Structure 1
Amino acid sequence: MRPGPAPLRHTNRPRRRPDLTLPLPQRDPSLAVPLPLPPPSASASATPPTASSQIPSLSDLERLRRIGSGSGGTVWMVRHCPTGRIYALKVIFGNHEDAIRRQIWREIEILRTADNPHVVRCHGMYDHAGEIQILLEYMDGGSLEGRRISSEAFLADVARQVLAGLAYLHRQRIVHRDIKPSNLLINSARQVKIADFGVGRILAQTMDPCNSSVGTIAYMSPERINTDLNHGIYNGYAGDIWSFGISILEFYLGRFPFGENLGRQGDWASLMCAICYSNPPEAPRTASPEFRSFISCCLQKEPARRPTALHLLQHPFITHHFSSSSSSSHP
């Protein structure tokens, strides 16, 4: 019979160098890679467990009417039957791969933490019968797409609110990437909020290879369309400012600034050439000097010359219409 291994003996020998310690490695938080969440379960309204408040059960939501649709999905006005509260439910078309679903779960958990009066609240996501459904704050005024805002005072209010939302997202290191009139929503209290941030850029790769619509390309910054224009460097924050400026100018003009029909008939090459190589659009001479300067700041061809959202909140076009006290009441 072979003897077993000798038992380990624990000795309390003193350390030779009691002052010797190993320094902890310094970690750059900007390089952190989040671990993937587990795949969603097959239940009708599965949500990954979080410390945040539970979202309403999908079975308790009653669809009232369709309030929007596009190539990516449909948005419904829904009522939470137990409380009567109204929400918007975005139903995404198509069956998505597990990797895409897990990525969306991670993004939703980030978006659920966003808490700003100028960002549409994302309450959570459901995965039911192969459909991805996102529960959002309901904005009863709909989007600002197709609206003309000739009053500079009202336009300054819209611009201020969108900039406040962008400044918040950028502080959270969230780049929207798809600022355009259809993603700016308004309610009956004249509150303007940014919608469709985060999730849209993930779903874009699973929809149309051309980002599902010309509208998305129309508001892209020149350096995003043609990376050679800025030595291959793309600053997403500056890209959001360009898209914001094009949207604000469109509200004032009542038409797309590069030409009302440019690119709408499938001539995307002309549209992209106009954005990349023509002079940036300008506000008309009939507009105030403050508004013309504001638009010029947003639509600088060189992204490094575009002010941040926080700096634009201090532009005379904004401060002329709103005192510091009124601005502080709308962070």
Structure 2
Amino acid sequence: MKENSDGFVRADQIDLKSLDEQLERHLNKVRAMDKNKKPDDGHLSSVAAAATADSTKTIAPTFRKDRQAWEIDPSKLIIKTVIARGTFGTVHRGIYDGQDVAVKLLDWGEEGHRTEAEIAALRAAFSQEVAVWHKLDHPNVTKFIGATMGSAELQIQTENGQIGMPSNICCVVVEYLPGGALKSYLIKNRRRKLAFKVVVELALDLARGLSYLHSQKIVHRDVKTENMLLDKTRTVKIADFGVARVEASNPNDMTGETGTLGYMAPEVLNGNPYNRKCDVYSFGICIWEIYCCDMPYADLSFSEVTSAVVRQNLRPEIPRCCPSSLANVMKRCWDANPDKRPEMDEVVSMLEAIDISKGGGMIPPDQQGGCLCFRKYRGP
């Protein structure tokens, strides 16, 4: 783990093991203990159990009455099936105090595989996410319910009963959004594309959420369709604050390649100081992706994208059928100069002003349409 000069730990550098592997090791250990247990070792088992209990209390105290406002009661949480896996951990369906939730599990290093300094860094990264998220309240931001930083009471419910989790596991509990990731929705509509009205609605949801975050002095730093979730009414909600942070008053305090290639602003790719305008750039790429239902720079390698975006001002090609009102928003948002990019509240106003009843086009009337999404009506 590395720390920046301001003490902020980059969560995007945390390399967490698969939860499945952790559970398998945990189960194998339990099976081995049961297999090796002898009839006359009851006293030894009791001593070992007591030692383990003492050790658990030292590593992760049980639920406290003087807990912080964002801490959950682990005894009220039921963790069920896996719904997503990623670099930062595993996301499960769950129930907390009778409410349908999503549970993001993080591992701080089982069986001594991490040093105390590494675990401390992971705690800091975890606290960063919680500190950012628990104060937020907006219809286009995933609702934060609570979290716990290691607990002996966490269990996963399986077909064969419940499995106790290692005490170094921590979790974030948020509202469950049945629509899944926006990226998955776009992939499903890759052939037919989306109706222009739907495109603008999705873009507005994302723009309003980002405008709210920026009003709270929060820079998300990893804006991409994969980190946007849909509820049952297809409302977009911003999720995953693993690399979000409070915006520094001095842009020089915010440096480093944080985010996802293809969505990262040139100044971020170049390792230069940046501010909330890096989110505006990423938003511009997201609008293109929502309109085209396609991947940006699908045919280029990582190194080619980095070089071309920074040195050659490469941007995704806007289809000629894209209404100029929307194309102009894209172009302004992904301007190479951060100062020329609009603020997100201005982007909201620009999108609200678009006439979705007619659409309009970029192609002159005397030219024939040449791209695959050229047709009178888009979408189902």
Partner Cα separation in structure 2 for residue 319 and residue 130 of structure 1: 50
TM (norm. structure 2) is 0.62
Q: Which amino acid aligns with 1:200?
A: V
Query: If the length of structure 1 is used for normalisation, what is the TM-score?
Result: 0.71
The answer to whether the Cα contact below 8 Å between 1:282 and 1:292 also exists between their aligned partners in 2 is no
- Tell me, yes or no, if the aligned pair for 2:60 and 2:168 is still in contact at 8 Å: no
1:154-303 to 2 correspondences below 5 Å: 154-197=198-241, 199-200=242-243, 216-227=260-271, 232-235=272-275, 237-258=276-297, 260-263=298-301, 268-278=302-312, 279-303=314-338
Alpha-carbon separation, structure 1, partners of 2:265 and 2:174: 28
Separation (CA, whole Å) in 2 of partners of 1:290 and 1:272: 28
Show CA shifts across 1:103-137 (max 9, x none): 53254134211111111122222123112211112
Which residue of structure 1 aligns with residue 105 of structure 2? 91
Q: Which residue of 1 aligns with 2:74?
A: 58
Deviates more, 1:184-193 or 1:101-110: 101-110
- Match of 1:287, SS state, is coil
Q: Quote the residue 2:195 is aligned against.
A: 151
Residue correspondences, number: 262
- In structure 2, the gaps of 5 or more residues are 1-5, 9-57, 110-117, 152-166, 246-255, 358-380
Contact 1:109 1:124 in 2 (8 A): no
CA 1:153/1:46 → structure 2, altered by over 3 Å: closer, same or farther?
Answer: farther
* Runs of 4+ residues deviating >4 angstroms: 44-48
| Structure 2 match to 1:328 | none
Shift of the 150–311 alpha-carbon distance from structure 1 to 2, 3 Å rule, reads same
> Which residue matches 1:18?
none
1:118 aligned to which of 135, 140, 143: 140
Point out the more displaced range, 278-287 or 131-140. Answer: 278-287
How far apart, CA to CA, are the structure 2 residues paired with 1:280 and 1:67?
33
Q: Does 1:70 align with 2:86?
A: yes
Identical positions, percent: 28
Question: What is the alpha-carbon distance in structure 1 between the residues aligned to residue 93 and residue 65 of structure 2?
Answer: 21
The structure with the largest alpha-carbon Rg is 1
Query: In the superposition, relative to structure 1, how do residues 101 and 312 fare at CA in structure 2: closer, same or farther (>3 Å)?
Result: same
Q: Report the CA distance between 1:292 and its aligned residue.
A: 1.2
* Root-mean-square deviation (Å): 2.9
Gapped regions of structure 1 (runs ≥ 5):
1-31, 35-39, 203-208, 324-331
CA separation of 1:277 and 1:189: change in aligned 2, threshold 3 A: same
CA distance in 2, matches of 1:217, 1:163: 20
Establish whether residue 43 from structure 1 lines up as the match of residue 61 from structure 2.
yes
Distance 2:144 2:207 in 1: 19
Which residue number in structure 2 is paired with residue 130 of structure 1?
Answer: 168
Instruction: Find out whether 1:308 has 2:343 as its counterpart.
Output: yes
